[in-house]
Amino acid sequence: MLNEKNFVVSHECSDCPIRHRAVCARCESDELTRLEEIKYYRKFEAGSHVIWSGDRMDFVGSVVSGIATLTQTMEDGRTQMVGLLLPSDFVGRPGREGAAYDVVATTDLTMCCFRKKPFEEMMQRTPHIAHRLLEMTLDELDAAREWMLVLGRKTAREKIASLLSIIARRDASIHPGKVDGPLVFDLPLTREAMADYLGLTLETVSRQISALKRDGVIELEGKRHVTVPNMGRLMEEAGDDSDGGMLV
Amino acid sequence: MLNEKNFVVSHECSDCPIRHRAVCARCESDELTRLEEIKYYRKFEAGSHVIWSGDRMDFVGSVVSGIATLTQTMEDGRTQMVGLLLPSDFVGRPGREGAAYDVVATTDLTMCCFRKKPFEEMMQRTPHIAHRLLEMTLDELDAAREWMLVLGRKTAREKIASLLSIIARRDASIHPGKVDGPLVFDLPLTREAMADYLGLTLETVSRQISALKRDGVIELEGKRHVTVPNMGRLMEEAGDDSDGGMLV
DNA sequence: CGGGGGGTTGATCTCCTTCAATCAACGTGG
DNA sequence: CCACGTTGATTGAAGGAGATCAACCCCCCG
C-alpha cells in the first residue's frame, strides 16, 4: 500500500498495489502466505544500479513502485535499452546464474524480492506462479517485437511519437478510466534515456520533440509534462494503425 | 525422422528429429502418447504464408524441418523481421485468438501442429509442457534483446557480421561437434530477407557482404555458401566480446 | 556566485538510402 | 537451341536523415 509519497507502508501481500498484476497475481491466499515467508523489500535510489550485467544474481523480484531500465552496453560504450520496468514487472530469470543486463533505477525504486533458490523451488510446486510468469514473458516478447519494428524501420520522428504513445497508453491504463479528452502525463525518462530506448542520440530526441511540439502534435509544460490533445494524430505520426490493432 | 530429402517419413514422436528440443522435450512417454493423439503434420512450400497477421489462429505447433520467418509490416509496406524460426521453434501463442505476425516459409517447411484448444487444455494439466514453453520463451526474449542492440546501435557492417556470426554459431550447434577449424555454412536467407532482419536495404546488405569478403573476413562461393576462416575476427567485426559472453 | 546536470539549437559531416543500370542463373515457349 | 522474361544479386551516383561537435540556456543547489 502506498501513501502519497510512494512509500511502502505495509508489507502484506493483501494490501500490495501490484497484487493483481505481478507474478503472484494468480496465487491463492495460502500460496501468498508461503510467498510472504520468502519475500523481502529493497529500496534503491534514483540513478543507482539494481543489478550489474555479468554479476551473479541471487534474487528475482517485482517492481513495486518506481521505474527501472534494462540496458545492454557494448565495449566502446554504446548502449541500448532493452526493457523498461514499471510497477508489477518482473526482474531476473529463474534458472540462470548470471545477470545478462544492467538494471538501473531511474526513479527511487522499491522492489519485492525473493531469493532465487526458494523462488525456483516454489515455482516448481505452484503452477499459478509458473503460468503467470509465462503469460508475462509472452507479453514482454510481444513488446520486444513491437520495439524491434520501431528500432529497425521507423524514422526519428516516428520513433519519438511511438515512445510517447506507448507511455501515454500505459499511463492511461494505470490511472483510472478517464474518458478520452486530452491525455496528460509526465515523461519518466531523460532525453538521454529516451535516446537509449530508441537507438538515437539525445540531440535528435530533443529536436524531434521540439518538432512535434511546433506541429501541435503535443504540448509541453517544462521539459517533462506532456499533453496530447489528439491521440489519433499522435498514433498517425507513430506510423501505427490509429484504430489500435485489437488482438485478444 | 528425415531421409536425405527432408521428408518426414515417420510420425512417431520417439523418432522425431526435434524430440529433445521442442515444447515436448520434457514430456514422459505417456504424455507423448497423449500429444500424439492431438497432433498432425502440415507442409508448406517455400515462399508460402503459414499464418497471416490478424487472422484467427486455430493451431499452434513446432517447426520440424525447414525455416520460417516472423515479420511485421507497416501500412506503407516497410517490413521488419522479428523472429527467425528454425527446427524445434514454437509457433503461436497459447491464450491468444488472433495472429500478431505474418509467418512465412522461406524454405519448404514441415510443421507439427496441435489444435489450439486441446493443446491449451493439455498445457494446463502438463507442467512439463508449460515449463518447457516458459524456458523457450525466455530464450526467445533474450534473443530479441540481443537483436534490439543490433538494430538500435550497430553499423551496417557490424549488423551483417552479427547476423553471420549468429547463423554460424547456430549451425555449429546443430551439426555435430566439429572442432574449430574454419566454419562453413549456407545462408538460409536472401539478401532481402537479411535486410528485413537487420533493418537495412538489400543494397546495403550486398555492399557490406562484398566488403567483408574483400577484407578477408569471410569467403564466398556462389551467393550463399560462406566460409569463416577466423570466427574470432568475425565476432570482432560484429562488435561483440570475442570471448563469447558465457552466461549459464 | 559558481558549478553541474539536463536540455536546446546550430553547423557540418557521413553513412546509409534511393534510384538506376547491369549481370548471372534459370526456366519457358516458339 | 536461342530469344525472352524473371528473380536474386552487385555496383554506381546522388541525396538526405541523423550523427557529431560545439555553443549556449535554464534551473536548482551548495
Tell me, yes or no, whether A170 and A124 share the same domain: no
Q: Report yes or no on B11 lying in a domain.
A: no
Tell me, yes or no, whether B181 and B93 share the same domain: no
Q: What average pLDDT does the structure give for chain A?
A: 91
Tell me, yes or no, whether B113 and B227 share the same domain: no
Tell me, yes or no, whether B137 and B184 share the same domain: no
Q: Report yes or no on A3 lying in a domain.
A: no
Tell me, yes or no, whether A173 and A67 share the same domain: no
Tell me, yes or no, whether A132 and A202 share the same domain: no
Which helix H or strand E contains B65, and what residues bound it?
Answer: strand B59-65
List pLDDT tens digits, range B155-193.
999 999 999 999 999 888 877 666 667 899 999 999 999
User: What is the per-residue pLDDT for B173?
Assistant: 81
User: What is the per-residue pLDDT for B241?
Assistant: 72
Identify the residue among A76, A84, A134, A236 best suited for mutation to test binding to B, counting B beta carbons within 10 A and taking the highest: A134
**Considering CB atoms only, which of B130, B138, B153 is closest to A93?**
B138
What residues contact residue A86 under an 8 Å CB cut-off, 6+ apart?
A63, A67, A170
Give the CATH number, domain containing residue A62. 2.60.120.10
What residues contact residue B176 under an 8 Å CB cut-off, 6+ apart?
none
Tell me, yes or no, whether A171 and A59 share the same domain: no
Q: How far is CA B170 from the centre of its chain?
A: 9
Q: Report yes or no on B187 lying in a domain.
A: yes
Tell me, yes or no, whether A194 and A228 share the same domain: yes
List pLDDT tens digits, range B194-205.
999 999 999 999
Rounded CA separation B2/A174 (Å): 51
What's the pTM value of the predicted model, to 2 decimals? 0.93
Q: Report yes or no on A81 lying in a domain.
A: yes
Contact by Cβ (8 Å): B13, B24: yes
Closest chain B residue to A131 measured between Cα atoms?
Answer: B130
Query: Considering A123, A148, A173, which residue would you say is the last residue of a domain?
Result: A148
Phi, psi angles (nearest 5°) of residue A200: -130, 180
3-state secondary structure of B135: helix
Tell me, yes or no, if B201 comes closer than 8 A to chain A by beta carbon: no
| Number of domains chain A is built from | 2
Q: Which residues of A touch B146 (CB under 8 A)?
A: 72
The candidate with the shortest Cα–Cα distance to A39, out of A27, A55, A48, is: A27
Tell me, yes or no, whether A134 and A168 share the same domain: no
Rounded CA separation A129/B245 (Å): 30
Mean pLDDT of A128-154: 97
Q: Report yes or no on B159 lying in a domain.
A: yes
Give the percent of chain A with pLDDT over 90: 85
Q: Report yes or no on A176 lying in a domain.
A: yes
User: What is the per-residue pLDDT for B179?
Assistant: 66
A223: domain range?
154-237
Tell me, yes or no, whether A133 and A190 share the same domain: no
The candidate with the shortest Cα–Cα distance to A187, out of A222, A146, A154, is: A222
Confidence bin at B206 (pLDDT 50/70/90): very high
Query: Considering A129, A148, A167, which residue would you say is the last residue of a domain?
Result: A148
List pLDDT tens digits, range A12-35.
898 999 999 999 999 999 999 999
For residue A6, pLDDT beyond 90: no
Rounded (10°) angle between helices A202-214 and A156-174: 80
Rounded CA separation B129/B132 (Å): 5
Contact by Cβ (8 Å): A203, A197: no
Q: Report yes or no on B181 lying in a domain.
A: yes
User: What is the per-residue pLDDT for B225?
Assistant: 96
Q: How many residues does chain A have?
A: 248
Provide the positions of strand D that have an atom within 7 A of a protein CB: 8-13, 17-22
Tell me, yes or no, whether A63 and A175 share the same domain: no
Tell me, yes or no, whether B180 and B71 share the same domain: no
Which helix H or strand E contains B172, and what residues bound it?
Answer: helix B156-174
Rounded CA separation B235/B227 (Å): 14
List pLDDT tens digits, range B22-75.
999 999 999 999 999 999 999 999 999 999 999 999 999 999 999 999 999 999
Query: Considering B148, B174, B207, which residue would you say is the last residue of a domain?
Result: B148
Q: Report yes or no on B207 lying in a domain.
A: yes
Give the CATH number, domain containing residue A183. 1.10.10.10
For residue A177, pLDDT beyond 90: no
Rounded CA separation B112/B91 (Å): 10
